[in-house]
Amino acid sequence: MIKPKLLIASIAFLAFATLFTSCSESKSKTGNKSAINAGGELANSEMEEEAAPEPIDTALYNKKIKELANGDTTGKWPVKKQPYPLAGAILPYKRVVTYYGNLYSKKMGALGEYAPKEMLRMLYAEVSKWEKADPQTPVQPALHYIAVVAAGDPGKDGKYRNRMPDKQIDSVLTISRMKKGMIVFLDIQVALSTIREELPRLEKYLKMPNVHLGIDPEFSMKGGVLPGRKIGTYDASEINYVSDYLAKLVKANNLPPKIFVVHRFTKKMVTNYQNIKLRPEVQVVMHMDGWGEPELKMGTHRHFIYSEPVQFTGFKLFYKNDLKKAPKRLMTPAELMKLKPRPSYIQYQ
């Protein structure tokens, strides 16, 4: 077993090794002009009309969260006293499989590295693998777009983050429409800004029924420390602020529940996890975001995801960084299906 201190140090070093390369790429020439020019701003009225969601099947819900616990006998999983979600909930009835990235950078993930049609072809090849690994759980394809990117320079306001223009977000929504039924996640790296300052800017998108949210504690810096100097953090109180914000949007706009992804690969990235509030309007995913060889990734999952249960879990796979050390391969869906709990959200970068 990997010792926790060694595990944290190893992953932290790996995470910082590429931070400023990725951030500087976000200001370089677009590597995927066809994606960026794919569409103009999307109004709510342009979204496809959807039928009112059916009330959730509580018996099936109980069955599925028990399946996700995967035989865990410690009492940690499934999480006790979690509320049933509102109608239209995606989890645990489906498993989300998504590509992550930014259209300005080829180094931040597959979403920006490949032209839209090729990217979608690759994503749906991964979807097919998950359908075969777990035929009992339908797959929900998604795109996970970094809408606020931590940066290596201060910018005009000194916040060390770049807000992506609406035109780019609109382009990602346009790309998602190339395949029927896709959903989109917008991700926030606040750097020296705050989640309270960044979240409202994305509200018009979060009012859309197919748009969900991710936040990245790694780049939530405290005390004026610059991104890249150390790993950032979110407290349960900040996570609860976001969850409450999303819940109010869901209720005010009669939306299905929002999936809320929190990236994590160290203990201090999320503090006071036991105080995170669960709500029928929001489905919280604690996402294993570390990269490296399979043993290292499983250790990260064991120490920081399994041992501090919140609600649902996720797991990230890196096409390049996971191959840097032996055995130089990605973990497979079959391997990830053996985890306790099984991940409900799979992200490829």
Half-sphere exposure of 300 (CA within 13 A, CB side): 29
pLDDT (0 to 100) of residue 1: 39
**Which has the closest alpha carbon to 115: 222, 34, 190, 49?**
34
- Residue 113 pLDDT exceeds 60: yes
- Phi and psi dihedrals of 76, rounded to 5? -70, -40
pLDDT (0 to 100) of residue 216: 98
Identify the residue with better confidence: 228 or 64: 64
The answer, yes or no, to whether the previous bond of 227 is cis (omega within 30 of 0) is: no
Of all residues in the chain, what percent carry a pLDDT higher than 90?
83
pLDDT (0 to 100) of residue 230: 96
Half-sphere exposure of 279 (CA within 13 A, CB side): 22
344 contacts 314 by C-beta, under 8 angstroms: yes
Identify the residue with better confidence: 298 or 15: 298
- What is 89-148 written as a DSSP string? --TTTSEEEEEEEBTTBSSS-HHHHS-HHHHHHHHHHHHHHHHHH-TTS-EEEEEEEEEE
Specify the pTM. Answer: 0.86
Give me the chain's average pLDDT, please: 88
pLDDT (0 to 100) of residue 180: 96
- Residue 137 pLDDT exceeds 80: yes
**Tokens for 7?**
């595990």
64 contacts 92 by C-beta, under 8 angstroms: yes
Tell me the pLDDT tens digit for each residue of 78-95: 999 999 999 999 999 999
Tell me the pLDDT tens digit for each residue of 21-79: 444 333 333 333 333 333 333 334 344 445 667 789 999 999 999 999 999 999 999 99
Residue range 219-231: average pLDDT?
95
pLDDT (0 to 100) of residue 52: 67
Total count of residues recorded for the chain: 349
268 contacts 233 by C-beta, under 8 angstroms: yes
Tell me the pLDDT tens digit for each residue of 138-183: 999 999 999 999 999 999 999 999 999 999 999 999 999 999 999 9
Structural domains of the chain ordered from first start? 4-40+56-348 (3.20.20)
pLDDT (0 to 100) of residue 288: 97
pLDDT (0 to 100) of residue 26: 38
- Residue 10 pLDDT exceeds 50: no
Residue 341 to residue 346: CA distance in whole angstroms: 13
pLDDT (0 to 100) of residue 55: 85
